[in-house]
């Protein structure tokens, strides 16, 4: 490895398309993140969580409790890392180029600073002394893998040079040795500590979170977790790890001054209230109102069109109609427990009134049109499950990315003598994948693991990725990381079939039962009347060439499912979804039987059917999964802001769309009925024609849009 990585060519100016060397450097970084996760999870006593508490249990209950404890350490570490990243973003990155926040009045077609943001930045030259700690770097990495969200926040905070630079590959690669140790010079550690007031190590920061009450501004000292506090814990405390600290899922704290309860739901509302105040006082636009939903690019109207421009409608309705009521939501009153649902109800009432629409747009416009509906959903998506100043909840993004990190570690291309050749092949496959996306704008394209490595690597050079995807497809292709697991599998089947048809090669180079079943579904029995079908020829070539022998199930790049999430829906929708899921399961079983019959007829080994528990193991305890396309999830949902591997779906659910914004005629496969959908926390993607991403379950475009 020393020889292989001694001469990686990683120029400071990102290339227009990723190279093999960039992919190899990315693999080094991913292995560093994997080593970090192992270190954190298995550090006994970290954050007051001791393995000895689980030793009083026996058998599988003990093993599961130990796994929960290890994952709880990791969840708390990530929660703290996200807070540390926020401080670093505001106190370091925003000072590198003297950034200034975007104002609503600058979002005009004549403002080149806004319209040409993606091309005006200058590439910064980073040294290893400028790099943050590894936990902060990990959050930054996950942030960039949500391209449209990252662009939006770079524009909002005025970070054009950061956008142009992307991840400083040369400096990052230099900081990681071949044992995946991440080392920054002492002066770099001092710079970070001096500018942020934080320790270099996440674990060395205080176990107490200091914050001000959003109601009365009283300074509060809140424990990050109350798990492990009791010396004689109950059985439930050991096995469930239920806590009420700032980093716990059930966070609850009573302000000793105003008597009001503070929890995660209230903090999300407080964020919206604060952004409303900034909109009124400083003209800062609300999240989700910056980019075009269709293209993902910064687009703006002329001065004449500006008063009724659909994309900025949420700014107008909040500023003109709802301002006083929103500002009053956080007034000290311990009897009220306002949440984002209260904001939702206010908006629902407002958009039903034509007089309100006329006041917020123009005298000639009184109808609530498609553009305004979409803009409301996009704006609300920034606040439902997110109390941070960013466009998405970064802790959940890191959790979901860690699934991909683990799979890359298990495949272990870095130790292969053919690693460089493998990178070249997956880059070719990635270029073909983008071609499929560009040619099929209304379909959801799902990557394989190898292809996803190239795709992620490209996204870590945001400007290059933006220019490439705009040139190839006419839009900024998103990679939002939430998609219903059933929709993911169905879209993967379509992608696989399309790829084989266009390029006469198998899409997923894997011999697990799932990939074999998917390939067998491409082969139509009726085609036998006219000879061997194209898909059957492709499959035969895969086996006859000997390539299949090099693709065992545990070391192959099958479906990339780190974005898979389970839907949390209403009882009626749950029954419908369960029935559809059962039908898909039966179809997969039939396809697997078909694959076995074909293998037997051709004298090939049967595709091995593994037990569900073999698909994924975490912290020494197996997850029970039916197939590799399923959501892995967090054991017990111990993550501080909620389980990041589920999403709410449907009317009445927390995170559902504002009633009246979905409209009718939503694309087939929509998971939200009238008034509710799922899109990265439920809002922002219904029928957007490509604005949604993996969370887009109402026809917005899936993994590739």
| 596 has pLDDT over 90 | no
Q: What is the number of H-type helices and E-type strands within the chain?
A: 26, 9
303: exposed, middle or buried (C-beta count within 10 Å: 0-12, 13-18, 19+)?
exposed
Could you give the CA distance from residue 572 to residue 672 in angstroms, rounded to a whole number?
Answer: 11
- Quote the pLDDT of residue 614: 54
Cα 53 to chain centroid distance, Å, stands at 33
3-class secondary structure per residue, 515-541 = HHHHHHHCCCHHHHHHCCCHHHHHHHH
What are the structure tokens assigned to 213, written together? 């009450």
Closest CA to 441 of 699, 635, 55, 653: 699
pLDDT tens for each residue of 636-687: 667 777 778 877 766 556 566 777 676 533 332 323 332 333 333 333 334 3
Helical packing angle, 134-144 and 394-411, nearest 10°: 100
Terminal C-alpha separation, the chain = 36
What are the structure tokens assigned to 604, written together? 């090939």
Q: What percent of the chain has pLDDT over 70?
A: 83
Closest CA to 643 of 632, 658, 629: 632
- Quote the pLDDT of residue 516: 76
- Quote the pLDDT of residue 666: 31
Could you give the CA distance from residue 688 to residue 705 in angstroms, rounded to a whole number?
Answer: 10
Q: Where are the beta strands (DSSP E) in 261-384?
A: 261-262
Distances (CA, A) of 598 to 457, 517, 521, 591: 37, 11, 12, 11
Higher pLDDT, 705 or 166: 166
Specify the range with the lowest mean pLDDT, choosing from 489-503, 562-576, 681-695: 681-695
Could you give the CA distance from residue 387 to residue 214 in angstroms, rounded to a whole number?
Answer: 12
How many other C-beta atoms lie within 10 A of the C-beta of residue 252?
Answer: 16
Specify the range with the lowest mean pLDDT, choosing from 75-89, 262-276, 324-338: 324-338
**pLDDT, mean of residues 425-432:** 96
Could you give the CA distance from residue 256 to residue 52 in angstroms, rounded to a whole number?
Answer: 34
3-class secondary structure per residue, 594-617 = HHHHHHHHCCCCCCCCCCHHHCEE
| 24 has pLDDT over 60 | yes
Distances (CA, A) of 243 to 41, 181, 329, 689: 18, 33, 27, 41
Give the containing element (helix H, strand E) for 237: helix 235-240
Cα 61 to chain centroid distance, Å, stands at 31
pLDDT band of residue 563 (cuts 50, 70, 90) is confident
Could you give the CA distance from residue 488 to residue 271 in angstroms, rounded to a whole number?
Answer: 32
Closest CA to 458 of 437, 440, 439, 441: 437
Half-sphere exposure in the Cβ direction for 408 (13 Å, CA): 30
pTM to 2 decimal places:
0.90
Helices (H), 440-484: 449-459, 462-473
In sequence order, what are the beta bridge partners of 678?
Answer: none
In sequence order, what are the beta bridge partners of 220?
Answer: 211
Strand, helix or coil for residue 484: strand
List, as one string, the DSSP characters of 57-121. Answer: S-HHHHHHHHHHHHHHHHHHHHHHHHHHHHHHIIIIIHHHTT-----GGG-STT-HHHHTHHHH-
Half-sphere exposure in the Cβ direction for 340 (13 Å, CA): 27
pLDDT tens for each residue of 604-631: 777 777 655 455 667 888 777 777 888 8
Q: Are 630 and 658 in contact (CB under 8 A)?
A: no
């Amino acid at each position: 490895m020393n020889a292989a990585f001694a001469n990686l060519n990683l120029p400071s100016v990102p290339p227009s398309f990723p190279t093999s060397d960039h992919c190899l450097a990315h693999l080094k970084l991913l292995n560093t993140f994997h080593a970090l996760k192992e270190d954190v999870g298995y550090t006994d006593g970290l954050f007051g969580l001791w393995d000895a508490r689980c030793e009083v249990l026996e058998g599988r209950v003990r093993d599961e409790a130990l796994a929960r404890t290890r994952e709880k350490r990791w969840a708390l570490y990530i929660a703290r890392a996200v807070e540390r990243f926020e401080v670093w973003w505001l106190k370091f990155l925003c000072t590198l180029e003297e950034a200034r926040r975007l104002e609503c009045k600058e979002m005009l077609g004549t403002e080149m600073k806004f319209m040409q943001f993606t091309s005006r930045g200058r590439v910064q030259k980073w040294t290893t002394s400028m790099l943050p700690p590894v936990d902060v770097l990990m959050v930054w990495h996950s942030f960039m893998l949500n391209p449209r969200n990252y662009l939006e926040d770079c524009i909002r905070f005025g970070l054009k040079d950061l956008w142009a630079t992307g991840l400083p590959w040369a400096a990052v690669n230099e900081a990681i040795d071949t044992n995946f140790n991440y080392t920054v010079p002492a002066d770099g550690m001092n710079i970070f500590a001096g500018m942020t007031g934080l320790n270099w190590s996440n674990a060395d920061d205080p176990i107490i979170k200091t914050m001000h009450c959003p109601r009365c501004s009283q300074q509060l000292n809140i424990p990050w977790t109350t798990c492990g506090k009791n010396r004689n814990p109950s059985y439930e405390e050991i096995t469930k790890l239920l806590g009420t600290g700032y980093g716990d899922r059930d966070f609850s704290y009573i302000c000793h001054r105003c008597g009001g309860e503070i929890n995660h739901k209230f903090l999300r509302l407080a964020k919206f209230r604060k952004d409303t105040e900034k909109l009124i006082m400083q003209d800062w636009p609300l999240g989700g109102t910056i980019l075009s939903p269709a293209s993902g690019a910064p687009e703006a109207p002329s001065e004449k069109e500006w008063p009724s421009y659909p994309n900025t409608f949420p700014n107008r309705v909040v500023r003109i109609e709802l301002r006083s009521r929103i500002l009053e939501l956080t007034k000290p009153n311990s009897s009220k427990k306002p949440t984002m649902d209260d904001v939702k109800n206010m908006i629902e009432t407002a958009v039903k009134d034509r007089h309100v629409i006329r006041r917020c747009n123009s005298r000639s416009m009184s109808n609530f049109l498609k553009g305004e509906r979409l803009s409301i959903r996009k704006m609300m998506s920034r606040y439902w499950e997110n109390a941070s100043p960013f466009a998405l909840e970064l802790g959940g993004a890191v959790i979901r990315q860690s699934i991909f990190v683990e799979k890359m570690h298990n495949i272990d291309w870095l130790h292969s003598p053919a690693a460089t050749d493998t990178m070249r092949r997956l880059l070719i496959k990635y270029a073909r994948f983008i071609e499929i996306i560009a040619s099929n704008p209304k379909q959801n394209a799902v990557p394989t693991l190898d292809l996803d490595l190239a795709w992620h690597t490209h996204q870590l050079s945001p400007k290059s990725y933006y220019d490439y995807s705009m040139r190839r497809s006419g839009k900024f292709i998103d990679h939002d990381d939430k998609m219903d697991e059933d929709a993911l599998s169905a879209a993967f089947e379509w992608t696989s079939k399309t790829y084989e048809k266009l390029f006469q090669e198998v899409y997923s180079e894997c011999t697990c039962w799932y990939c074999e079943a998917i390939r067998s579904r491409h082969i139509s029995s009726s085609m036998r009347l006219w000879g061997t079908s194209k898909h059957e020829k492709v499959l035969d070539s895969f086996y006859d060439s000997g390539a299949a022998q090099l693709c065992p199930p545990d070391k192959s790049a099958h479906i990339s499912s780190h974005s898979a999430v389970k839907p949390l829906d209403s009882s009626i929708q749950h029954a419908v979804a369960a029935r559809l899921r059962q039908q898909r399961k039966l179809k997969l079983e039939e396809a697997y039987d078909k694959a076995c019959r074909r293998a037997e007829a051709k004298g090939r080994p049967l595709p091995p059917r593994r037990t569900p528990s073999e698909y994924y193991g975490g912290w020494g305890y197996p997850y029970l999964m039916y197939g590799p396309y399923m959501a892995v999830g967090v054991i017990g949902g111990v993550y501080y802001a909620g389980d990041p591997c589920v999403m709410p779906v449907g009317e009445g659910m927390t995170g559902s769309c504002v009633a009246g914004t979905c409209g009718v005629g939503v694309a087939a496969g929509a998971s939200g009925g009238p008034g509710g959908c799922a899109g990265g926390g439920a809002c922002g993607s219904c029928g957007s024609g490509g604005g949604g991403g993996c969370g887009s379950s109402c026809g917005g475009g899936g993994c590739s849009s």
